[in-house]
Amino acid sequence: MKPEAIVKHGIISVKTFVYSMFQLIKTKEFWLYIVFGVLTTLVDWAVSFGLYSLWSGLIDEHTVFVHIADVIAWAAAVLFSFFANRGIVFKSEKKGMKNVLGELAEYAGGRLLTLGLQEAIIFVFFDWLGINEYIVKIGASVLVVIINFILCRFIFKKNGKETERGKI
């Protein structure tokens, strides 16, 4: 392939991506996800920051308590966000305990991946580099929210199809 063709293909790909992003931000689903993403983040931060404060003396001596606090906060946030995303944002139509538990398992599995990413970021930037745990937590949260949105869109489907996006 000629260099000109590669550049042209790259420009077309970027334009397509930008167009897709503009289409996405026009949807009700996107804005609901943002609202409930913020609320989920607040649940996560409230629990983790509360535990950081409660365990401040322990954290000063043992950084493992930051990770324990984050796992507890993660569990609370995952439960909150699962029900919000399932019922309000993506409006899953799957019925029955077996289907709901299946979605929860898939959802929690995706969230485990992003928890691992978050903990790796905290390990590097807090444990190794000594950056403030609050700053690191906030920075990691931004990346996690973006990845979680992508994962949610794959998990909550209507009858095997992508969810309706509903223009606002």
Can you give the pLDDT at residue 21? Answer: 62
Length of the chain: 168
Work out the pLDDT band at 8, boundaries 50, 70, 90.
low
**CB neighbours of 31 closer than 8 A, spacing ≥ 6?**
25, 168
Can you give the pLDDT at residue 24? Answer: 67
CA 129 vs CA 48, 66, 71, 132, 136: distances in Å: 20, 15, 21, 9, 10
Higher pLDDT, 71 or 15: 71
Domain ranges of the chain: 27-155
Sign of CA dihedral 112, 113, 117, 118: negative
Report residue 107 as tokens. 């959802």
**Helix boundaries (H) for 55-132:** 56-61, 64-84, 97-122
Can you give the pLDDT at residue 57? Answer: 80
Q: 53-57, 65-69, 78-82, 141-145: which has the highest mean pLDDT?
A: 78-82
Q: Is the pLDDT of residue 168 over 60?
A: no
Q: At what angle do helices 28-54 and 3-25 cross, to 10 degrees?
A: 80
Average pLDDT score, the chain: 81
CA 97 vs CA 5, 100, 102: distances in Å: 52, 5, 8
pLDDT above 70 covers a percentage of the chain that reads 77
Work out the pLDDT band at 165, boundaries 50, 70, 90.
very low
Can you give the pLDDT at residue 159? Answer: 41
What is the Cα–Cα distance from 28 to 67, expressed in whole angstroms?
35
Report residue 84 as tokens. 């919000």
Q: Is the pLDDT of residue 70 over 90?
A: no
Give tens-digit pLDDT for 80-135: 999 998 889 888 888 899 988 998 998 999 889 988 998 899 889 988 999 998 89
Work out the pLDDT band at 42, boundaries 50, 70, 90.
very high
Can you give the pLDDT at residue 19? Answer: 65
Can you give the pLDDT at residue 10? Answer: 57
The helix (H) or strand (E) run that includes residue 54 is helix 28-54
